[in-house]
């Protein structure tokens, strides 16, 4: 039970990190494209 | 640029003759490749000994030794070309496809020569049982054709990059693997008394498919 | 940006569903959840390779560098998914059958894809000029395209006939329960969308790099 919650938590955390990294990357790209 | 069939055949023959002659003049490549093949064979034989009853291991080892020989020998074929700058000359007189076929035939002959020495030595040193010569030679022939076709096209690509031997081995491996897999399976089957039809068909199919694709690609290979 | 937020919620939500809502597959037990990640990763590996190869052929045909951007980008992202699929598959195999690697047909296939990706990227890394790199890597891609059906379907069978293994892989029989199926396809869609988002970013970066170089060239 606890184990499952831990794995789920880690999975969501990893996904969150990946997502925010990609969003930041996209913002920087948009900036550079505007120039 | 020659385009009709008879001059294309003549171009292929000219390329082949040129390759054979320039290789024969120094024999450096042939000597190095033979030495490499015999060395790997010796290493295998020394560390493993005679394997008369293990047809599966024998089949695998035989084709690994041949694979190594192909990798070692064919990598240099195109490198020599580019370094000698004769490729530019060749392209002035022959269509890319003709050059490619000429080189392919040369690579095949080269491999065949290595095998004439290596295979009997392998059979003797490893204590292999007598092969069913018809099937065995057919597998060797078709397998070598496949190895040559794949190595020729990969060699042509790699010769235009910064990479050399290691890159050639790594990039040619996925293309060589179907040949090796089918050849090992067939070689084992012919020692175990089974039929090699399926493997021969596979080798032929792969060779034809790869040859057809690579002939379409050679025009793109040498453009600058 | 709404699309991005939607993607985030989609994947996060269905991941929670995978743990809290979908049942376990009896044979797999607690390891069931790996399939929601591992199988989509393998699917995207194949998709990305196909995308890359198609764009390689398109580049040879039309000689537009955008096609090369897509070929390279798909390969770079594809190999990431391939590594993820291979690693997750290996860990799953260890949990299920006690060994990390067995060369069973599926493991063998994913390994060959890894080799092709690596070889393609290695060829690219050995060439400096844009046009030549695009052309030669596209040629290699086209040649590898011929080998793929043999590597994916024929060679693993050959290996298996050479080394028959008592370990039988039950993966083909899952997706029985409709809840599992729903979550699986939902996450499959989500990961596919993620792949194309990453690819679009990669392609835009490549285009910017070319423009940046062009600007430098123009200024000097």
Whether C4 sits inside 8 A of A26 (CB atoms) is yes
DSSP state of B130: P
Residue B17: predicted pLDDT: 82
With CB atoms and an 8 Å threshold, state whether A4 touches C201.
Answer: no
Contact of C33 with chain A, judged by CB distance below 8 Å, is answered with yes
Residue C22 lies in a domain: no
Q: Is C99 inside a domain boundary?
A: yes
Residues of chain A in contact with residue C15, where contact means CB-CB under 8 angstroms, are 8, 11-12, 15
Q: State the pLDDT confidence band at B19, using cuts at 50, 70 and 90.
A: confident
- Under the banding of pLDDT at 50, 70 and 90, the label for residue C11 is very high
Q: What does the pLDDT look like over C141-176, one tens digit per residue?
A: 999 999 999 988 887 777 767 666 555 555 555 557
Identify the closest residue of chain B to C57 by CA–CA distance.
Answer: B217
Distance of alpha carbon C124 from alpha carbon C132, whole angstroms: 9
Number of domains in chain C: 1
pLDDT digit string (tens) for C40-81?
999 999 999 999 999 999 999 999 999 999 999 999 999 999
The pLDDT, as a whole number, for residue C220 is: 44
CB-CB under 8 Å, C4 with A29: no
What was the ipTM of the complex prediction? 0.90
**Could B162 and C146 be called an inter-chain contact, meaning their C-beta atoms sit closer than 8 Å?**
no
Determine the distance in angstroms separating the CA of C153 from the nearest CA of chain B, rounded to an integer.
10
- Kindly report the backbone phi and psi dihedral angles of residue B39, in degrees, each rounded to the nearest multiple of 5, phi listed first: -65, -45
- Is residue C197 within 8 A of residue C32, CB to CB? The reply is no
Is the minimum CB–CB distance between C205 and chain A shorter than 8 Å?
yes
Best of C61, C114, C115, C126 to mutate (most B CBs within 10 Å, chain B): C126
* Domain-embedded: residue C71: yes
Whether pLDDT at C219 is above 80: no
What is the rounded CA–CA span in Å between residue C116 and residue C106?
Answer: 16
What does the alpha-carbon distance between residue B123 and residue B59 come to, in Å, rounded to a whole number?
10
Q: Whole-angstrom Cα distance, residue C3 to residue A22?
A: 13
CA C30 to chain centre: 25
Residue to substitute from A10, A20, A29, A33, interface C, most C β-carbons within 10 A: A29
Domain assignment of residue C6, yes or no: no
Q: How far is residue C110's CA from residue C184's CA, in Å, rounded to a whole number?
A: 20
Please report whether residue C183 resides in a domain.
yes
C128 part of a folded domain:
yes
B vs A contact (3+ beta-carbon pairs below 8 A): no
Residues C3-23 as b/e (b if ≥16 CB within 10 A, e otherwise) read: eeeebbebbbebbebbbeebe
Q: B71: pLDDT confidence band, cut at 50, 70 and 90?
A: confident
Cβ(C42)–Cβ(C191) below 8 Å? no
User: What residues in C contact B171, CB-CB < 8 Å?
Assistant: 119, 122-123, 140
Tell me, yes or no, whether C172 lies in a domain: no
HSE of C55 in the Cβ direction (CA atoms, 13 Å)? 21
Helix residue spans in chain B (DSSP H): 5-26, 28-48, 55-84, 86-93, 96-125, 133-158, 165-192, 197-221
Asked, for residue C212, whether it belongs to a domain, the answer is no
Can you give the residue range of the structural domain that contains C197?
A: 32-167+179-207
Of residues C16, C19, C201, nearest to A29 (C-beta)? C201
Give buried/exposed letters for A1-35 (b at 16+ CB in 10 A, else e): eeeeeeebeebeeebeeebeebeeebeebeeeeee
Distances in whole angstroms, Cα of residue C220 to Cα of each of B183, C117, C213, C215, C216: 58, 37, 11, 9, 6
More confident residue, C77 or B169: C77
* Residue B210 predicted with pLDDT over 50: yes
Q: What is the dihedral of CA C49, C55, C61, C62, to 10 degrees?
A: -170
| Phi and psi, residue C161, nearest 5° | -75, -25
Give the residue-averaged pLDDT of A2-17.
Answer: 90
pLDDT in tens, B36-52: 889 999 998 888 888 87
DSSP C114-141: HHHHHHHHHHHHT--SHHHHHHHHHHHH
pLDDT in tens, B97-118: 888 898 899 889 999 999 999 9
C-alpha to C-alpha distances, C106 to B224, C79, C92, nearest whole angstrom: 42, 17, 13
The nearest CA of chain C is from the CA of B224 a distance in Å of: 9
- The shortest C-alpha distance from A5 to chain C (Å) reads 8
């Amino acid at each position: 039970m606890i184990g499952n919650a831990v794995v789920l938590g880690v999975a969501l955390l990893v996904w969150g990190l990946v997502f925010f990294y990609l969003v930041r990357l996209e913002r920087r790209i948009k900036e550079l494209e505007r120039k | 640029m020659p385009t009709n069939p008879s001059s294309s055949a003549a171009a292929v023959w000219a390329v082949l003759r040129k390759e054979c002659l320039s290789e024969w003049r120094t024999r450096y490549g042939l000597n190095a490749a033979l030495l490499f093949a015999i060395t790997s064979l010796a290493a295998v034989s020394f560390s493993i000994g005679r394997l008369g009853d293990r047809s599966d291991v024998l089949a695998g080892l035989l084709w690994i030794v041949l694979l190594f020989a192909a990798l070692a020998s064919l990598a240099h074929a195109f490198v020599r070309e580019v370094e000698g700058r004769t490729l530019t000359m060749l392209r002035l007189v022959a269509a890319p496809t003709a050059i490619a076929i000429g080189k392919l035939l040369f690579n095949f002959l080269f491999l065949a020569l290595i095998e004439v020495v290596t295979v009997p030595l392998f059979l003797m040193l490893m204590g292999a049982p007598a092969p069913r010569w018809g099937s065995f030679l057919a597998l060797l022939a078709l397998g070598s054709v496949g190895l040559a076709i794949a190595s020729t096209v990969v060699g042509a690509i790699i010769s235009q990059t910064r990479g050399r031997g290691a890159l050639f081995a790594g990039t040619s491996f996925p293309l060589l693997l179907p040949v090796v897999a089918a050849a090992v399976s067939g070689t084992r089957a012919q020692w175990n008394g089974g039929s090699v039809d399926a493997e021969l068909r596979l080798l032929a199919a792969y060779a034809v498919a790869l040859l057809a694709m690579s002939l379409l690609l050679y025009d793109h290979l040498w453009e600058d | 940006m709404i699309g991005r937020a939607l993607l985030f919620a989609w994947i996060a939500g269905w991941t929670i569903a995978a743990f809290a809502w979908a049942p376990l597959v009896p044979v797999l037990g607690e390891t069931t959840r790996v399939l929601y990640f591992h199988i989509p990763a393998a699917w995207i590996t194949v998709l990305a390779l196909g995308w890359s190869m198609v764009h390689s052929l398109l580049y040879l045909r039309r000689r537009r560098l955008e096609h090369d951007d897509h070929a390279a980008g798909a390969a770079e992202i594809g190999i990431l998914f391939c590594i993820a699929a291979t690693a997750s598959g290996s860990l799953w195999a260890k949990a299920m059958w006690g060994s990390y690697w067995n060369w069973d047909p599926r493991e063998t296939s994913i390994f060959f894809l890894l080799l092709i990706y690596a070889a393609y990227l290695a060829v690219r890394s050995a060439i400096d000029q844009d046009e030549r790199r695009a052309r030669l890597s596209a040629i290699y891609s086209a040649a590898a395209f011929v080998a793929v059906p043999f590597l994916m379907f024929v060679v693993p069978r050959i290996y298996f006939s050479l080394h028959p293994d008592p370990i039988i892989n039950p993966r083909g029989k899952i997706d029985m329960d409709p809840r599992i199926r729903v979550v699986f396809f939902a996450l499959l869609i989500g990961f596919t969308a993620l792949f194309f988002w990453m690819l679009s970013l990669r392609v835009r970066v490549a285009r910017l790099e070319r423009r940046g170089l062009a600007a430098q060239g123009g200024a000097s």
